[in-house]
Amino acid sequence: MSHGEDQRKSQTILPGATLGVLGSGQLGRMFAISARKLGYRVHTLSPESDSPTGQVADQEITASYDDLEAVSDFATRVSVVTFEFENVPSATAEVAARFAPVRPAGQVLHVTQHRLREKTFLREQGFPVTPFRAVRSVEELQIAIRELGCPAVLKTAGWGYDGKGQAKIQSPEEAATLWAQLGTDEAILEGFVDFRLEVSVIGARGLDGAFVSFGLLENSHSNHILDVTVAPARVSPRVAAEADAIARGVLESLDVVGVLCVEMFLTRDDRLLINELAPRPHNSGHLTFDANVTSQFEQQVRAICGLPLGSTELLRPAAMANLLGDVWENGEPRWAEALRLPDVKLHLYGKSSARPGRKMGHLTAMANSADEAERIVREARCRLMG
């Protein structure tokens, strides 16, 4: 055995150890379920209590991410720290790293939690990205609009997900108003992409540099929130292979150990452009829990623990539909009606109250074709709402 191999083996975190998760939403919950199946213990830290992750973790620590004493104490009690939520301050990751390996590393978080840093990094590494300009004043915004044209999308540089902190600019006259509304001193203006499809690739990379992906997933959004994902994406083999190569390149350039999602636009002339990165399991990969040999969550456990990555084979074509708080609008959803469809699986996240736009759960359907899986999952969601 070579010295390098020997060193990597000694870094393997074996079942029975305790894994730490920063963040406590549904991604952490599904991570914890996968970790427990493999015999690990799980501790979670976030400002929430009775959280989706906390309900299935061995220990739930309720503390602010800025409480560096609590973060230090948390990290001393676990063998490795990972994320389920990328908007964790860099200082939190740095402090945790003094006591336990942080995977993916804080540097990955630093790049991906800031839209401007992320886009600049990708462009410098030669990846295809949507055209963009940095904007720090209304004057710079007006210049950027002249260069990129309208429509364009103005986004805050930091702390954004699910369409938060962004606005579409239809004409240069809107610049001053939208800049004031955004209330930031650093933003990014992105050229509007006339896309045919929104797609994503979730990749996992091990401690030894091994890479696997779940193939290209096809996503449709409603009000900037993912609505339905279909696997495999209905695209040409060339596009699917190219997307995979892009994802692999991104994980390698960032030296990711763990799971990362690359969200992309497929243009009308079949070009792929990276929209954004998420350094964690992703909503579009929830269907892997049921439809793949190894889920994205188990893959995250394997990667951060230095275990070999599992097969990502898709067992059957599948589709996932998000269940937002809106589904509860007319009272308790009709669970039994949806589950009369035998190929449908229900996942609820244990959140205490349903609010419009809040992710409460999802449905997965499997079928003999992607089209059929999508039809079934949409029907199941309709049945829930009567």
Domain count, the chain: 3
Two tokens, residue 324: 């937002």
The residue range of the domain holding 369 is 195-384
Instruction: Evaluate whether residue 247 is within a structural domain.
Output: yes
Whole-prediction pTM = 0.94
Do 148 and 48 fall within a single domain?
no
Do 137 and 272 fall within a single domain?
no
Do 265 and 223 fall within a single domain?
yes
Q: Which of 191, 214, 242 is at the close of a domain? A: 191
Do 212 and 343 fall within a single domain?
yes
**DSSP string for residues in 224-243:** TEEEEEEES-SS-HHHHHHH
Residue found by looking up tokens 């809040």 in the block: 358
Residue 52 near residue 362 (C-beta atoms within 8 A): no
Do 361 and 224 fall within a single domain?
yes
Exposed (0-12), middle (13-18) or buried (19+): which is 68, by Cβ within 10 Å? middle
CATH number of the domain at 278, please: 3.30.470.20
CA distance 84 to 300: 10
CATH number of the domain at 136, please: 3.30.1490.20
* C-alpha distances out from residue 383 to 8, 327, 333, 361, 363, Å: 50, 10, 9, 15, 12
Per-residue pLDDT of the chain (386 residues; tens, 9 = 90+): 444 443 444 589 999 999 999 999 999 999 999 999 999 999 999 999 999 999 999 999 999 999 999 999 999 999 999 999 888 998 999 999 999 999 999 999 999 999 999 999 999 999 999 999 999 998 999 999 999 999 999 999 876 555 567 888 998 888 888 888 888 889 999 999 999 999 999 999 999 999 999 999 999 999 889 999 999 999 999 999 999 999 999 999 999 999 999 999 999 999 999 999 999 999 999 999 999 999 999 999 999 999 999 999 999 999 999 999 999 998 999 999 999 999 999 999 999 999 999 999 999 999 999 999 999 999 999 999 98
